[in-house]
A and B are shown apart, each in its own frame.
Chain A
Amino acid sequence: EDQVTQSPEALRLQEGESSSLNCSYTVSGLRGLFWYRQDPGKGPEFLFTLYSAGEEKEKERLKATLTKKESFLHITAPKPEDSATYLCAVQRDYGGATNKLIFGTGTLLAVQP
């Protein structure tokens, strides 16, 4: 069964304290792994897509990496405005035109000043 597991469920950091969020997955025929950010009361907002093991992408203080079994979202020197829930999702190859995403339950990040 396809599964996406994110850890930790919640993470509290001091401003400037770097850390990583984990997304592990079991899916056959991975077509892409996606990271989204969700602020309270809002819909998820796209951050990154990774397609193959070894791939990395960066945006400001965030860097996403991908292996064959998991992805990490590294946060370097976070600021309070980085506080949000970070969602991971995978797209599986269903052998057709269907492009569904399977989401993890998210990591709630709180960055304190």
Chain B
Amino acid sequence: DVKVTQSSRYLVKRTGEKVFLECVQDMDHENMFWYRQDPGLGLRLIYFSYDVKMKEKGDIPEGYSVSREKKERFSLILESASTNQTSMYLCASYPRGAENIQYFGAGTRLSVL
């Protein structure tokens, strides 16, 4: 079974802190994604990566950056956390050349106070 693991289920941070959200997948997938999920807005794509060291902006990249130094790991970085970044963050992956069936992690619920 494909496993996508997000390092934290719950995080509480202060405004202005630098926050790292980590995602690891164990199936050698090239494509990895970061979404945020908010009530009434659905899942919105923040950033994605189609290979090591490659990244592309999604629909709402402002205030975020990402890092993909190894194929299995995709990190989302909040440079200076703000209260409007309080949300559920979901990581997903799928292999290159395959159907776009994305496998999701369990999510990280981030609260910024």
Interface hit among B12-20, B38-46, B64-72, B75-83: B38-46
The answer to whether A99 and B31 touch across the interface, beta carbons within 8 angstroms, is: yes
B109, closest chain A residue (CB):
A41
- A contact residues, range: 20 to 34
Q: Which residues of A contact B92 (CB under 8 A)?
A: 43
Task: Check if B102 sits within 8 Å of A46, measured CB to CB.
Answer: yes
Give chain B's interface residue range (CB within 8 Å of chain A): 20 to 34
Give the tally of cross-chain contacts (CB within 8 A): 52
The residue on A at minimum CB distance from B35 is A103
Q: How far is the CB of A100 from chain B (nearest CB, A)?
A: 6
Residues of B within 8 A of A104 (CB): 42
A78 is an interface residue with CB less than 8 A from chain B: no
Contact, CB under 8 Å: A100 / B48: yes
The 18 listed contacts between A and B (C-beta, < 8 Å) are A4-B42, A31-B100, A42-B106, A42-B107, A43-B4, A44-B104, A45-B104, A46-B103, A49-B99, A49-B100, A89-B43, A99-B100, A101-B45, A101-B100, A101-B102, A105-B41, A105-B42, A106-B42
Interface, chain A (partner B; CB < 8 A): 4, 31-32, 34, 41-46, 49, 87, 89, 91, 97-101, 103-106
